[in-house]
Amino acid sequence: MAAKILIVDDDANVQRLLQYTLKQEGYDVVNAADGAEGFQLWGTEAPDLILLDVLLPKLDGYQVATKIRGEEGSASHVPIIMLTAEREVEQKVRGLRAGADDYLIKPFHPAELLARIKSLLARFAPRDVLLARPPMGRVLALYGAKGGVGTTTIAINAAIALHRELGRKVCLVDGNLQFGDHRVFLDLGLDRKSIVDIVTAPSMDAELIRQVLVKHDSGVDLLLAPPSPESADLVRSEHLPMIADHQRPKYDYVVIDVDKRLDDVNLGVFEAAEAVFVVMTADLSCLKNVRLILETMSHLGYPTGKTQLVLNRSNAFTGINVKNAEGALKRTIDHQVVNEYRGAISALNSGAPFMFTKADSVLGGSLLQFARALDKQAAVPAPAGISAR
């Protein structure tokens, strides 16, 4: 059944725009023109999500959210996205305290609204729905053929796309143990817990890992790299596979962003992963590295389908086109991500991933296509030879 969304807004033009956008995506829509009617329809229509304007006749949005939270009880939780023209932090805090789960400032792009709706619907799916579709438990590794090819950018934004656009539950692991960048690229402080808190504990279990994970505003759960290079030595080769095993029953995807070393730690990740995505660019030094990586994977006995090539900045002029790169490697490039360097570097420097803030960009569309390709593979049985963990 299509999810039912209740729009509570007294502006007829806004109602029409939202209704058109949502129906185009296949949602059922119910409208209310004031706060009192919105509260009443919440009780009679049982919507799956509410878009709630702040400035409403009879009852304002804060009052409506407070009344809903006061009456729904602990057995259910309808996600509420508050809509407002106010940009002040105080207004946002007031909305969240009233019970809103998310906050959108008008005017907003329809793509951002739809991404947030999908994320909340996935996050607050009824328990019976979750029981009907257990987590897929796929472990994916992203590995850079050399430094600077954009592996971390792709890992972060693919994880967000899988969650916000495709409704998957995702845990993103920063496996760049010495110099992990997730803290910087996601605007997180050094005071956050990291994998060190797990591997130095007397024993490892799912509850410990849950306490160490950091929830990003996008809805993706994060396991951060050590805060200093010297503490990376505390992570041994068996630790990341053990963590992945604990996370499989809880997530659709455990995405591990690893550095370019072929050491015991990374080889342990490759063994645990269902697929290894080698991120590359079309230049001679990178192609040389990719050939060596493919040879190594073959010597390790991995089936061909386990290693997949991701050509980043695929439309950038390097003098080597996709056909030439495939000829040099003697195999097909499985995925391509377009070049939009300015947008990517701006997102990194601001600590706001483009799949979170600018999902409707050209680069966002390319990453979404990559995420859909990954998700589509979930329906295809894994090639023989991949160990089940």
Give the model confidence (pLDDT) of 140-198 as tens digits. Answer: 999 999 998 999 999 999 999 998 888 889 999 999 999 999 998 998 877 889 999 99
CATH of the domain at 306: 3.40.50.300
Q: Which residues contact 59 (CB under 8 A, 6 or more apart)?
A: 34, 35, 36, 38, 39, 67
Query: Do 219 and 120 lie in a common domain?
Result: no
Asked whether the predicted pLDDT for residue 380 surpasses 80, the reply is no
Q: What is the pLDDT of residue 293?
A: 94
Strand-pair partners of 309:
278
pLDDT computed for residue 381 by the predictor = 42
pLDDT by residue (tens digit) across 98-107?
Answer: 999 998 988 8
Name the band, by pLDDT with cuts 50, 70 and 90, for residue 1. low
**Domain contains 353:** yes
Strands 102-105 and 221-223: unpaired
Residues 76 and 194 in one domain: no
Is the same domain home to 96 and 152?
Answer: no
Q: 61 falls in which pLDDT band (50, 70, 90)?
A: very high
Quick check: 298 pLDDT over 50? yes
Residue 219 has pLDDT above 80, yes or no: yes
Q: Which residue has the higher pLDDT, 271 or 89?
A: 271
pLDDT at site 75 = 64
Minimum mean pLDDT range among 27-31, 35-39, 71-75? 71-75
Residue percentage of the chain with pLDDT more than 70:
94
> What pLDDT is recorded for position 359?
79
Question: Is residue 119 domain-shared with residue 171, that is, in the same domain?
Answer: no
Q: Is the pLDDT of residue 95 over 50?
A: yes
The answer to the question of residue 31 being in a domain is: yes
Instruction: Name the average pLDDT for the chain.
Output: 88
- Are 14 and 148 within one domain? no
In the prediction, which pLDDT does 86 show? 76
Of 131, 160, 178, which residue sits at a domain end?
131
Total domains in the fold of the chain: 2
* Residue at which a domain ends, from 131, 153, 172: 131
The pLDDT value given to residue 386? 36
Question: Residue 123: which domain range?
Answer: 4-131
* CATH code of the domain in which 45 resides: 3.40.50.2300
Check whether residue 265 and residue 199 sit in a common domain. yes
Report whether 144 contacts 313 (CB < 8 A): no
What pLDDT is recorded for position 279?
97
- Examine residue 388 and state whether it is found in any structural domain, yes or no: no
Residues 213 and 287 in one domain: yes
Q: Are residues 329 and 201 in the same domain?
A: yes
- Give the pLDDT score at 387: 37
Is 273 part of any domain? yes
Token representation of residue 304: 């061909």
Residue 266 has pLDDT above 90, yes or no: yes
Domain C-terminal end among 106, 131, 156:
131
pLDDT tier at 203, thresholds 50, 70, 90: very high
Average pLDDT over residues 33-47: 94
Same domain as 120, residue 147? no
Residue 166 lies in a domain: yes
